[in-house]
């Protein structure tokens, strides 16, 4: 009887192995597909200044972001090299933490850590220690990943404060800062395709790279 069952057992094991392998393979493919890369060219009057790259990793528990911006330009005939590196984590639509490093000409300008500690945020930077009491639902890094539908403010990770976010027209949004400078963001089908950025040092355009 055992000899007669062996071929059936082998067949069942083969089917089970094939099923598990196929299932796991699909699972791996789905997980890999969940990682989204948002790449932008940084331009000024046709000149290529550098790039911005954001890696967005959503999971059932949280969404993490890795942000790298590297650009080189000239201001008043002086060459400047700007670098931003940031990691951020959202859980259930709330910003939980981020760490931002800002360098100018390879010199550390700011090193900012924000962390939710139960009822408030703790903010530590080169300028000192501070707190923010309200939950943050939307910050600048998300502007580059998805259209800000039904949002009226956005948290700036570098300036550590909220700024007004308004819809100018379909697909066109504006962030206005306390300094009265503003940035414009343009979307198609929910995806950012172009941004016009104004900073204290310079102004430039960003274009999505497919």
Domain match, 106 and 203 both: yes
Domain match, 91 and 6 both: no
Domain match, 1 and 60 both: no
pLDDT digits (tens, 9 = 90+) for 29-65: 334 447 999 999 999 988 999 999 999 999 999 999 9
Domain match, 28 and 39 both: no
- Token code pair at residue 190: 């929910």
Domain match, 24 and 120 both: no
- pLDDT score at 9: 54
Supply the range of the domain harboring residue 162: 35-208
Task: Tell me how far apart the alpha carbons of residues 185 and 143 are, in angstroms, rounded to a whole number.
Answer: 8
Domain match, 84 and 129 both: yes
Identify the DSSP state of 139. Answer: B
Domain match, 166 and 187 both: yes
- pLDDT score at 5: 45
Domain match, 24 and 115 both: no
Domain match, 107 and 187 both: yes
- pLDDT score at 165: 98
**16 has pLDDT over 50:** no
pLDDT digits (tens, 9 = 90+) for 79-138: 999 999 999 999 999 999 999 999 999 999 999 999 999 899 999 999 999 999 999 999
Domain match, 123 and 71 both: yes
Domain match, 71 and 117 both: yes
Task: Tell me how far apart the alpha carbons of residues 101 and 85 are, in angstroms, rounded to a whole number.
Answer: 5
pLDDT digits (tens, 9 = 90+) for 166-202: 999 999 999 999 888 999 999 999 999 999 999 877 8
Count: domains in the chain: 2
- Tell me what percent of the residues of the chain surpass a pLDDT of 70: 84
- pLDDT score at 201: 77
The pLDDT confidence band at residue 205, using thresholds 50, 70 and 90, is: very high
Query: What's the distance, CA 2 to chain centroid?
Result: 60
Domain match, 142 and 55 both: yes
Q: How many CB atoms lie within 10 A of CB 1?
A: 4
| Sequence-distant (≥ 6) Cβ neighbours of residue 125 within 8 angstroms | 110, 111, 112, 113, 160
């Amino acid at each position: 009887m055992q000899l007669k069952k062996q071929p059936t057992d082998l067949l069942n094991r083969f089917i089970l192995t094939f099923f598990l392998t196929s299932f796991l393979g699909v699972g791996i493919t789905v997980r890999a597909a969940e990682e989204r890369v948002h790449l932008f060219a940084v331009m000024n009057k046709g000149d290529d200044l550098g790039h911005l790259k954001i890696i967005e990793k959503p999971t059932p528990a949280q969404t993490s972001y890795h942000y790298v911006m590297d650009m080189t330009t000239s201001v008043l005939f002086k060459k400047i090299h700007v670098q931003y590196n940031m990691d951020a984590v959202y859980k259930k639509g709330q910003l939980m933490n981020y760490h931002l490093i800002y360098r100018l000409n390879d010199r550390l300008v700011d090193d900012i850590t924000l962390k939710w500690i139960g009822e408030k945020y703790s903010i530590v930077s080169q300028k000192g220690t501070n707190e923010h009491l309200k939950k943050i639902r939307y910050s600048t890094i998300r502007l580059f990943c998805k259209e800000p539908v039904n949002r009226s403010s956005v948290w700036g990770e570098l300036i550590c404060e909220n700024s007004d976010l308004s819809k100018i027209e379909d697909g066109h949004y504006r962030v206005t800062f306390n300094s009265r400078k503003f940035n414009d963001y343009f979307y198609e089908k929910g995806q950012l395709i172009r941004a016009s950025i104004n900073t204290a040092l310079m102004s430039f355009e960003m274009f999505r790279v497919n």
